[in-house]
Structure formats: C-alpha cells, structure tokens
C-alpha cells in the first residue's frame, strides 16, 4: 500500500481524470442541456463509475511508465546507512581495483579526510 500512495499522488499531479485535449488548451465544461437535468441517478452513478474506471486505467498506465524509468527507486522514509573507511596506503592490490570492488558491493564515496582516508557509505544491508 505504501508503494501505491506515491503513484496515486503522482497521477493526481499529472492530471489523471482531466479531459483529454491539447496541452495548454483551456478546458471548459460542456454546456448544460435539458437532458442533463433529467438524467436519472442510475445514469449518474454509471457515469461516475466510468470516470473511476478511466482513472484506474490511467493510474495503471502511469505505473507502468514509472517502472520503465531507470534510476527511479521508491525508498522508505528513513534510510539507515553503513560506513566504511579505507586508507589508500593500506593496499595489497591497486587502489583502482579496491575502488572498483567497493563500487560493485554498493559502496559510494561520500567524503575524504584530511589524512587522505576515503569514507564510503551505502544503504544498510538487511541481515540474512
């Protein structure tokens, strides 16, 4: 449910449920006809259900589009981090190889110290 809320909010922001038309074109409600005044409650409910159905289809299409965006990640409200400090001087292998290995493990360089150490961080890994 938590993952659905941001998508619904995004759908509302992007205008799900708005009438289709040219972007930027002013939308005016259709002129009321005498038949509208005589429309039965059942017809009004059917129209409302059709609008809801259209909105659901729009949200589903938007959800699929959002899933196709690379780099988009829905994250929890609070991220817990873990850190690693390395010294470039303490290396059995080249610094480049060490950095590539850390990157493959999900570590990201976040700072360096005045003494030349590197501070890495990554989202805290779940205990298996």
Q: Is the pTM of this model over 0.75?
A: no
What angle, rounded to 10 degrees, do the helices at 41-67 and 4-14 form?
A: 110
Q: In sequence order, what are the residues at sequence separation of 6 or more whose Cβ sits closer than 8 angstroms to the Cβ of residue 83?
A: 110, 119, 120, 121
Sign of CA dihedral 84, 88, 89, 92: positive
**Beta pairing, strands 108-112 & 81-86:** unpaired
Instruction: Tell me the C-alpha to C-alpha distance, in Å, between residue 121 and each of 46, 78, 92, 103.
Output: 54, 15, 22, 10
Beta strands in 48-112 (DSSP E): 81-86, 108-112
What confidence tens digit (pLDDT) does each residue in 53-108 have?
999 988 888 877 766 666 666 666 788 899 999 988 887 888 889 999 999 999 99
């Amino acid at each position: 449910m938590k993952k659905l809320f941001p998508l619904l909010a995004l759908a509302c922001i992007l205008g799900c449920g708005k009438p289709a038309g040219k972007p930027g074109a002013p939308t005016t409600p259709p002129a009321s006809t005498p038949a509208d005044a005589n429309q039965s409650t059942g017809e009004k409910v059917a129209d409302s259900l059709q609008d809801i159905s259209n909105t659901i289809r729009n949200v589903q299409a938007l959800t699929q589009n959002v899933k196709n965006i690379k780099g988009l990640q829905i994250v929890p409200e609070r991220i817990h981090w873990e850190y690693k400090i390395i010294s470039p001087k303490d290396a059995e292998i080249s610094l480049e190889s060490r950095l590539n290995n850390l990157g493959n493990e999900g570590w990201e360089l976040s700072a360096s110290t005045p003494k030349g150490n590197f501070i890495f961080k990554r989202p805290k890994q779940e205990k298996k």
